[in-house]
Structures are given as C-alpha cells and as structure tokens.
C-alpha cells in the first residue's frame, strides 16, 4: 500500500443516520450509494473532497451497531474500525430527529479514546429552528456538535470549515497521487471479486461474504506494484438491469458500469467452477463498449476441474476483443501477483503507438497474404495507414473506395493487428477513409461474435 495519500476523514455513525447522504453533500458528488433502506453502505468508500483550498478524502462507512452480533454487521464494524485507524479526523454522524440513542453513546465511548480529533454532526435538522435539538448531543463528551441537514445543505459550510481547520496541517504538498493504471475488478455477483481485491492488497480491505451482492459501492484503493502506481476498483456484481430496477442494487449497478468506463483495464472475474457463462460474456462485452481493455480471470481455480482450453475457445469465439484467459485463486494466492503484472503490461500496450512505417509494412504483408474480395467487379486497395490515437488505439487507413470494405475483411485486418502487436483484449478502432474525399468509416461495431 502506498503511504503518500490525502488526509482522511472517517464518517461513522449508527445505521441509517444519513452518513452517505452527508458524504455526497460535503463532496459535491453522488459517489456514495444512498437509499431509505438501512444498511446500504457496507465497505469503506473513499470520496475526494476539498474546502477553502484544503484537499482531503471522506471515507464513508457502514452503520456501526455494537449490539448487532450478525456476521455481516461484525464485518461492517471492522471496516469502520479500519477507517478510523487510518483517519486524520473522525466525523461521527447522529440523527437529530431520533435524539440521543444508546447506540450513539456506545460509539461515542469508543471514539473518546481515539488518538485523532472527533467531530459530531447532528443530521436531519432541516430548518434553522431545529438547531437547538443538537444540544442533547453535548452529552456524548466529544465537543460541541454541529447541526446539519445533508438533504438540504443546512449547516454543511460550518461543518466543512471545522473539518478543513483540523486537516489543514496534514495537507500534502502539490504532488498528488497520479495513478498510472486504473484497474477495475468486475463480474457477476458472488464470483470472488472482493476476495481477489483483498488478495491483491494482502489485507481485508473489502467485505467478503457468501451472501451475493455484499459489495454495493465501487471501492477505490491506491497501491503500488513494482514501482507502478495503480488504483484498484472493486465493484458490485453486474446483473441484467431489468432484475435490479427499483432496488438499491440498481444504483450499485450504475456505479459498477461507471467504474468500468473510467478504468484502463477490466479484470472480468468468472467462477471457474461454472466456467465462462453467457452472463460473464455480457460483462466482458460491457467493458469493451466502455472502451476498457480486458482480461478474463477464472477465479476459484483451486476447487475446479474446468477445461481451460474449452473456456479459451468459448471466449475467443464469442468476444471480439479476443481477451486472454488467466486462472487464479484468491484463497490460495495462486497467480494473484501475475494478474497485476499482466494488467499493467496490457495497459502499456493499449497506450502504445505503432510507427507509421511499421504499420504500413504490416498492411502490405496482410494484403499479400489475403487479397480483399471483389465487390461489384472492383477490389479494395489500401494506400496508406497510420495510428492517430492511443489508449485505446485508433487507426486510419486510406483506401480507394471505403464502400468496398466487407465485414469479414474488416475483422480479418483487426484480428491480424491484434495477433501481430499483442493487442488481445484491447478495443481497436479502425477507420477507413477515401483518399480522394477524406470520408471515413469505422470497422463494423458488432460487439459479440457468434461461432
């Protein structure tokens, strides 16, 4: 784990006091999942924020109920404890409409022994006339409480002033974390994504449970691997939208899709005991449409006898990107380090450039290997090729008439390009332009190929 990070403000409190809503209000984002249902937040969710020139990170946590002995509640409490252990400031949130509750007093007793400053925000006081209700929370022994309304923004400026004052002395210099690679771990529910993230980090950073759908936020974690800076993103399991419409999982789904859109590389995690399913292929297809380079990971390899060659053939025949298929076990650690190495290498190739002379030599070889088919008595000629963008790569080929491009020949060129320059799993955009008129046409965008 990297040490040079922004100061962290751990936001803790009893379940359903409005912590996530307050995090969104203070950060000016909608990063944290909010819902009327209690217990929505489970893992630690880090959201960057700033106020009056002070940068810091708000760490949203699950509700802490010290009296709840269920296993998932214990894991949520452990995540909150870790957040408090890493924090520069702890912000305890209470529900002003419910008054001082035993759960608040138990948490305050724990926080009074904390080695860092603690602020108390009394939430859900929507009108200025409600502010006196916060006086009751003086009894927590954590200083003067700040009356706020996360829903309406009342009092949040005063709260941010106090947060900024406490973290100002811990603010870093101008050199912020600049990640070289954003790596999203995506997949359908209960395939071991969170276990794999914890194996990467060597610690229980995210909650792991046999209950499907435990992860609901897209959890960003910074780390270094062989001197390379990465941001690792654990995501909620992806389902068909029709199955999660109207539930809290719908918002988790949106955040997972957005995480894939912001990532450089997607590790599409599959359950090796089930092989590569049609839903796994749909997740990989989503990553491609978001412009994300892809590696397919068969997790739980320690407890399966899945035919690896059959899985590779299925992926190659169904997915246009032809991503590599790797095996791993988050439980035993098998191939875990290799996944990071392969992901970083793939990101480098996706951002690389092929020189124009080399690209034109490649095109000449491909044309000699297989001539384009004649269309209405005319045959395609490629005069010149160049790479115009990288990350992901975009190529432009100047031809005599782009209407002579057939779907099959466009795929043939794309597949040869992947094979020559090791671009398996990288989304490619190949444009064909008429040399005379400069008109362009991209290769057919059929995302999923069928055998």
Question: Going residue by residue through the chain (451 aa), what tens digit of pLDDT does each one get?
Answer: 333 367 888 888 888 888 888 999 998 887 765 544 444 444 567 888 888 888 888 988 877 776 666 766 666 666 667 767 778 888 989 898 888 888 888 888 878 877 788 899 999 888 777 888 888 888 888 888 999 998 888 899 999 999 998 888 755 444 444 557 888 888 888 788 878 888 887 765 443 344 444 444 556 677 777 667 788 877 765 655 445 444 444 555 666 677 777 788 888 888 888 888 888 888 888 888 888 899 999 988 888 777 889 889 999 999 888 999 999 888 888 888 888 889 888 988 988 899 999 999 999 999 998 988 888 889 889 999 999 988 889 999 999 988 898 999 999 999 999 999 999 999 999 999 987 654 455 554 433 333 2
Give dist(CA 185, CA 236) in Å, integer: 9
- With beta carbons less than 8 A apart as the criterion, state whether 227 and 181 touch: no
Strand partners, 396: 386, 431
The per-residue pLDDT for 360 is 94
- With beta carbons less than 8 A apart as the criterion, state whether 226 and 176 touch: no
For the chain, the first-to-last Cα distance in angstroms comes to 43
The per-residue pLDDT for 387 is 93
Say whether 107 sits in a helix, a strand or coil.
helix
- With beta carbons less than 8 A apart as the criterion, state whether 440 and 431 touch: yes
- DSSP assigned state of 155: T
The per-residue pLDDT for 200 is 81
- DSSP assigned state of 448: B
- With beta carbons less than 8 A apart as the criterion, state whether 200 and 194 touch: no
- Answer yes or no: pTM beyond 0.75: no
The per-residue pLDDT for 445 is 43
Number of other CB atoms surrounding residue 216 within 10 Å: 27
Q: Which residues are within 8 A (CB) of 359 and not within 5 positions of it... i.e. 6 or more apart?
A: 385, 386, 387, 395
Long-range contacts of 126-131 (CB under 8 A, 24+ apart): 126/151, 126/152, 126/154, 127/154, 128/154, 130/96, 131/155
The per-residue pLDDT for 40 is 44
Give dist(CA 172, CA 234) in Å, integer: 26
The per-residue pLDDT for 170 is 57
Give dist(CA 7, CA 19) in Å, integer: 19
What's the number of CA atoms in the CB half-sphere (13 Å) around residue 93? 32
- DSSP assigned state of 168: G
Number of other CB atoms surrounding residue 346 within 10 Å: 24
The per-residue pLDDT for 253 is 60
Q: How distant, in Å, are the alpha carbons of 60, 82, 122, 162, 218 from that of 32? A: 7, 18, 19, 22, 9
Give dist(CA 211, CA 208) in Å, integer: 9
Among 381, 337, 376, 361, residue whose Cα is nearest residue 421: 361
């Amino acid at each position: 784990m990297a040490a040079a990070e922004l100061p962290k403000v751990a936001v803790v409190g009893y379940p359903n006091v409005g912590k996530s809503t307050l995090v969104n209000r203070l950060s000016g984002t909608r990063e944290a999942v909010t819902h009327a249902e209690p217990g929505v937040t489970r893992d630690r969710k880090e959201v960057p924020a700033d106020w009056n020139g002070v940068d810091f990170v708000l760490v949203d946590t699950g509700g802490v109920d010290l009296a709840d002995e269920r296993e998932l509640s214990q894991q949520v409490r452990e995540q909150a404890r870790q957040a408090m252990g890493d924090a520069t400031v702890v912000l305890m949130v209470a529900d002003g409409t419910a008054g001082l509750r035993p759960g608040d007093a138990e948490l305050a007793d724990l926080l009074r022994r904390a080695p860092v400053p603690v602020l108390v925000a009394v939430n859900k006081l929507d009108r200025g006339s409600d502010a006196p209700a916060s006086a009751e929370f003086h009894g927590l022994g954590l200083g003067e409480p700040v009356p706020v309304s996360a829903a309406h923004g009342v009092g949040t400026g005063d709260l941010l002033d106090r947060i900024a004052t406490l973290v100002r002395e811990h603010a870093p210099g101008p050199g912020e974390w600049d990640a070289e690679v954003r790596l999203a771990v995506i997949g359908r529910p209960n395939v071991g994504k969170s276990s794999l993230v914890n194996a990467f980090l060597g610690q229980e950073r995210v909650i792991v449970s046999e209950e499907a759908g435990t992860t609901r936020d897209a959890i960003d974690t910074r780390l270094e691997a062989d001197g390379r800076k990465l941001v690792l993103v654990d995501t909620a399991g992806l389902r068909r939208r029709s199955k999660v419409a109207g539930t809290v999982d719908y918002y988790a789904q949106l955040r997972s899709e957005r995480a894939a859109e912001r990532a450089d590389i997607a590790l599409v995690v599959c359950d090796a005991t089930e092989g590569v399913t049609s839903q796994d292929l749909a997740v990989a297809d989503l990553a491609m449409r978001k412009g994300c380079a892809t590696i397919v990971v068969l997790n739980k390899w320690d407890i399966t006898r899945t035919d690896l060659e059959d899985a590779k053939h299925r992926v190659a025949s169904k997915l246009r990107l032809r991503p590599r298929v790797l095996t791993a076990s988050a439980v035993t650690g098998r191939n875990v380090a290799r996944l990071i190495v392969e992901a970083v290498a793939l990101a480098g190739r996706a951002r690389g450039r092929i020189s124009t002379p080399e690209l034109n030599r490649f095109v000449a070889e491909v044309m000699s290997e297989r001539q384009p088919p004649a269309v209405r008595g005319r045959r395609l000629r490629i005069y010149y090729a160049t790479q115009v963008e990288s990350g992901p790569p975009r190529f432009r080929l100047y031809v005599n008439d782009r209407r002579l491009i057939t779907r099959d020949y466009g795929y043939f060129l794309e597949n040869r390009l992947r094979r020559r320059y090791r671009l398996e799993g990288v989304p490619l955009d190949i444009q064909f332009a008429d040399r005379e008129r400069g008109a362009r046409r991209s290769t057919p965008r059929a995302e999923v190929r069928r055998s």
